[in-house]
Structure 1
Amino acid sequence: MPVKVYERILQLFEAEGINTIFGIPDPNFVHMFHLAEERGWNVVAPHHEASAGFMAEAVSRMTGKAAVCIGTLGPGMANMAPAVQCALVENSPVIFLGGQRARITEQRVRRGRIQFVQQTPLVEDSVKYAASIEYAEQTDEIVREALRKALSGTPGPAYIEYPSHVILEELDVPEPLPPERYRLVGQTAGADKIAEAAAAIRAAEQPILLVGHGVHTSRAGASVRALAELMACPVIQTSGGTSYIEGLEDRTFQYAFSDAATDAVVKSDLCLAIGTELGEPVHFGRNFHWVENEANRTWILVEQDPQAIGVNRPIDVPLVGDLRAIVPQLTEALKDTPRTPTPEFEGWIREDAARLAELAETAPSGGSPVHPARLIVEATKEFPANGIMIRDGGATTIFGWTYSQAKPHDVIWNQNFGHLGTGLPYAVGAGVADGGNRPLMLITGDSSFQFHIAELETAARLNLPLVCVVGVDYAWGLEVGVYKRTFGQGSRETGVHWSTETRLDKVAEGFGCHGEYVERDEDIAPAVKRAYASGKTAVIHVAVDPKANSEEMPSYDKFRTWYAEGQQ
């Protein structure tokens, strides 16, 4: 039977397993929103299109699929721009749909047109594919091309524009094709390269797995676990790969923030890198910790984009394809020759566990306001074992890397672009993707939290089990530290402070959420417990020591090596 274009769009996305849409209903898209809800989709309307884009990105990360976000014509698309740029840098396959005036309006020689701007030129450099549907009959081919480009090679966003005169037209089309009929799915590596990689792993004495963001976003943890157990080696997390794989928690160490990780890297004679671009946060795999023993180290890289091979460093055995297909190939090749753990490996496990326990004991305590290190320790002690962790902020995130006592299986944060304010929208998107079943914890700073604070209403409306632990120093804490290091103690700090009368717990209550105010160490854990027990979205306002927050960031010198301009 004939279908409207907006219904066909839903059918094409459903064929990809997509059933969630974010956005503020554009007049072009009200029919789509209405029908999506009738078809059982999650239809979420937040308070800002940038938030909608961040929420869609979180859904993509939690499902391993593309996600969909809509922006109204003109200002809605302008509002969505930060999320478009973020999806590009974060390698997230989000399909952004933009409304637009009818083409007759664009082609007229006129001034003063309402809510009109040529949108495609504004976003085409920030997406992998941009197109406008000029004729209804193009719908299938353009939606499929957007999905094909977004999900092939290095994943990333796509933009599709629908002029108002097209989206209500009718089409007489067959059932949508399944993904494997129109794009490459589950690409494996060649048998010769798998054999070469397996032989190198068997010959290695101190191999390591370097696990990045892509392992989390592809939902490939179980298969990576099987491989890691056969290799009996350390799992080194990149800054983006901070979701702990279930069953590998004790053998997973943070690159650059764990002495065990550094020692394992230095001594390694083989590195199998999975789901990582080998970028600045791992010193491109060739500087700092990698320099020692470089001549004796073999590199194997699992990479979906063939053009990425050898860009940041030479690769000995490239395995090109989908890591979800290649990791099982490696497991099959190694299943009859499991390695025996080395004494060093078992020592690194003990060393890292002792480090974590020592941090919990030695984090400064007893002060009021709270030291940010103690905030992280106390809050993460109470993190639910099955929870989803969301991070945001500058100084707060740096304290979190070092002092977190939790080992979540799902961590979401903006590790590549460093876009502040994504935390609360990410939390909402993750909760929607999960169906609101698992508890969520957002740990953030007050600066970041206030970017999209209106989405507390969205979280409350959706009844998400979200607890937001907010470290409040009434300042851009990381930037205060930059002022002090640049101009000295006591210098004027311009534009980085605001009113100490701000009470985020009271703001939360105004949105119908549970609110708590904390200014002592010992009150943090009980507040977290009460927040989850409340059954509401909750905000815990924790007053943190501004001096400590700006001057005592742990391992800050290591963090700054990621920005060694021209030296890498």
Structure 2
Amino acid sequence: MSVKVYERILDLFEAEGINTLFGIPDPNFVHLFHAAEERGWNVVAPHHEESAGFMAEAVSRMTGKAAVCIGTLGPGLANLAGAIMCAKVENSPVIFLGGQRARITEQRVRRGRIQFVQQMALVENSVKYHASIEYAEQTDEIIRQGLRTALSGTPGPVYIEYPQHVIQEELDVPAVLPPERYRLVGQTAGTDRIAEAAELIRSAKQPVLLVGHGVHTSRAGDSVRELAELMACPVVQTSGGTSYIEGLEDRTFPYGFSPSAIEAVVESDLCLAIGTELGEPVHFGRGRHWVANEANRKWLYIEQDASAIGVNRPIDVPLVGDLRAVVPQLVDALRDTPRTATPELARWIEEDAARLADLAETAPSGGSPVHPARLIVEATKDFPSDGIMVRDGGATTIFGWTYSQAKPHDVMWNQNFGHLGTGLPYAVGAGVADGGKRPMMLITGDSSFQFHIAELETAARLNLPLVCVVAVDYAWGLEVGVYKRTFGHGSLETGVHWSTETRFDKIADGFGCYGEYVEKDVDIAPAIKRAYASGKPGVIHVAVDPKANSEEMPSYDEFRTWYAEGQQ
């Protein structure tokens, strides 16, 4: 069949189940955008290319598939650079497409070229693969190699560009291939390794499941739930794996921030790690809470990238493969020999529930402005488990780790890279992937919220069921705390304070959203309820106590152990 290059690109993505793209169209892409919309794709043009990249990353996390983001040549690609790097560190398989001037422009010895820069060099260290479609006939091989690379091993972004003269060339090509015809899909682990792992699980006295970010981005919750039930063990969340698997909410404890999690780790004689890099936030699986009982603990590790095995700690039984295929293998191996839960599991569940209830009861209340711990309690106490929770900010997120009362099945935040400002774009992308069906909440600090505040218009245009709860102290709260700890109270705090005249509720109103100003904790939950009832995206401006926000961050000493340079 005869097709244009841009049509073929869409065909190749559709074969992978991709039907959403983000970006701001320019002359290189108007034909592709138009064709995508005619095909029924979700085509979303935000207000900044970096936002587009974050939105695409959110779609990938919500669907378990690759996602697509487009950047206009020159400045558009420059704007995308932060999102590309973020996708790399967050292990997100995003296909970034970039336009480019015709190659004759690049090869001429000229000065003063308009909207031109050599883009490949700009992004090559931030992607797993980069290529240019120099000839129309390369379209299939390059797009497929991009998808193959993005989804193989440790997932990550790729960058593909095509010069302006290529996009509308004609191709005579056969029908597109399904994914399994050109890349490895559903890689399983060897049956000998599965048998060995199952035997260790059966013989363990206190096993734990260590669940990371990858379990949720691969959408593998159902099979992991079956495995946890057969193992009759606690689920310990990494800081990146903070979504709750349906049916496992009660037995899921955050590593380092829950005494139940710490005790379960310390007493464990077997750890099965799934969807995690075993990185700094879990002390590489060998420091801090893991030191006790290390000699008696066996390690099983499900990992798609064989080169990751043994890097951060020795592994007794590596299970190399796609966790979506390997976890069902383990489930099948254990189905006829389910374990019986130990008495400790029931106690840990009871103690963790009591911990959350106590936090809700003891979070400082009644003050104005609001204590940030109380903000988290009031904002999350009625949030449904089927909702989508998005986090952003420094101090605000640290308070959220400890005080959140919600256990949603989808929690989205930027954990590995720590890139602020991702919250609102993540929320928009998640809402697009979800089709706007489920309620969404973004809890963010004021400084982070301003990075991409223009995307409130995008949320309003898409009519997303989103409420943004903004903790406002008119400062970089985490950094204010650093100043105080470094130089003492009363020291000069340079560059971390800004105008107290900013009103986010009024900004929301200007974007066509619902806005409300709150300065008492008892008003937070009713304001959120009114925002959802308005039928518009909402922004709740909550005035928070700047002293508490910078000085009373809970579990801060635990958080700092992630950065123990050279000590782990």
- SS of residue matched to 1:21: strand
Question: How far apart, in 1, do the equivalents of 2:130 and 2:511 lie?
Answer: 37
Query: 2 CA distance for matches of 1:433 and 1:418?
Result: 23
- Equivalences for residues 140-219 of structure 1 within 5 A: 140-219=140-219
Q: What's the TM-score once normalised by structure 1's chain length?
A: 1.00
The one-letter code matched in structure 2 to 1:345 is: L
* 2:119 paired residue number: 119
Q: Secondary structure at the match of 2:96?
A: strand
Aligned to 1:411: 411
Output one character per residue of 1:262-308: Cα deviation in whole Å (capped at 9) or x when no partner. Answer: 00000000000000000000000000000000000000000000000
> Are 1:360 and 1:405, in contact at CA under 8 Å, matched by a contact in 2?
yes
SS at match of 2:166: helix
**Residues in 2 aligned to 1:539 and 1:432: alpha-carbon distance in whole angstroms:** 19
The structural deviation recorded for 1:26 is 2.0
**Match of residue 433 from structure 2:** 433
Give the superposition deviation at 1:490. Answer: 0.3
Measure the CA separation in 2 of the matches of 1:70 and 1:364. 46
Aligned to 1:503: 503
2:561 is aligned to 561
Partner of 1:94: 94
Farther off after superposition, 378-387 or 14-23: 378-387
% identical aligned pairs: 86
Contact 1:127 1:156 in 2 (8 A): yes
Once residues 293 and 516 of structure 1 are traced to their aligned partners in structure 2, the CA distance between those partners, rounded to angstroms, is: 52
By how many angstroms is 1:383 displaced?
1.3
1:447 alignment partner in structure 2: 447
Is the counterpart of residue 133 in structure 1 residue 125 in structure 2?
A: no
Instruction: Confirm whether residue 311 of structure 1 aligns to residue 311 of structure 2.
Output: yes
**Contact 1:382/1:528, CA 8 A, preserved across alignment:** no
Where do 1:388-403 residues align within 5 Å?
388-403=388-403
Name the amino acid aligned to 1:463.
Answer: N
Distance apart, 1:386 and its partner CA = 1.7
1:31 aligns with 2:22: no
2:376 is aligned with what amino acid? I
- For residues 289 and 385 of structure 1, the distance between their equivalents in structure 2, rounded to whole angstroms, comes to 29
- CA shift at 1:154, angstroms? 0.1
Distance, in Å, in 2 between the alignment partners of 1:169 and 1:124 is: 27
The one-letter code matched in structure 1 to 2:324 is R
Separation in structure 1 between the aligned mates of residue 265 and residue 304 of structure 2, nearest angstrom: 24
SS at match of 1:167: coil
In structure 2, the partner of 1:81 is: 81
Residue of structure 2 equivalent to 1:540: 540
What's 2:424 paired with?
424
The answer to whether the Cα contact below 8 Å between 1:382 and 1:529 also exists between their aligned partners in 2 is no
1:385 deviates by 3.2
For 1:522 and 1:438, locate their aligned partners in 2 and report how far apart those are by CA, in whole Å: 25
**Following TM superposition, by how much is the alpha carbon of 1:27 offset from its aligned partner in structure 2, in angstroms?**
1.1
* CA displacement 1:477-512 (0-9 Å, x = unmatched): 000000000000000000000111100000000000
Distance 2:292 2:37 in 1: 57
CA distance in structure 2 between the partners assigned to 1:11 and 1:26 by the alignment: 21
Partners of 1:250 and 1:233 in 2: CA distance = 11
4+ long deviations beyond 6 Å? none
User: Which residue of 1 is the match for residue 514 of structure 2?
Assistant: 514
Q: What is the DSSP-based 3-state SS (H/G/I as helix, E as strand, rest coil) of the residue aligned with 1:165? A: coil
> Which segments of 5 or more consecutive residues in structure 2 lack a partner in the other structure?
none
User: How far apart, CA to CA, are the structure 2 residues paired with 1:386 and 1:258?
Assistant: 23
Q: How many residue pairs end up in the alignment? A: 568
Matches within 5 A, 1:282-361: 282-361=282-361
TM-superposition CA deviations, 1:354-410 (whole Å, max 9, x none): 000000000011100000000000000121332100000000000000000000000
TM-score under structure 2 length normalisation: 1.00
Does the CA-based 8 Å contact 1:392-1:445 persist in structure 2? yes
CA–CA separation in structure 2 for the residues paired with 1:533 and 1:510: 19
CA distance in structure 1 between the partners assigned to 2:302 and 2:58 by the alignment: 24
Who is 1:473 aligned against?
473
- Other structure's SS at 1:332 match: helix
- Tell me which amino acid in the other structure corresponds to 2:83: A
Across the aligned residues of Structure 1 and Structure 2, the Cα RMSD in angstroms comes to 0.4
C-alpha distance in 1, partners of 2:269/2:405?
30
Alpha-carbon displacement from aligned partner over 1:3-30 (angstroms, at most 9, x marks no partner): 0000000000000000000000021000
Cα displacement (A) at 1:197: 0.1
Over residues 207-226 of structure 1, what are the superposed CA-to-partner deviations in whole Å (9 max), with x where a residue is unaligned? 00000000000000000000
Match in the other structure for 2:3: 3
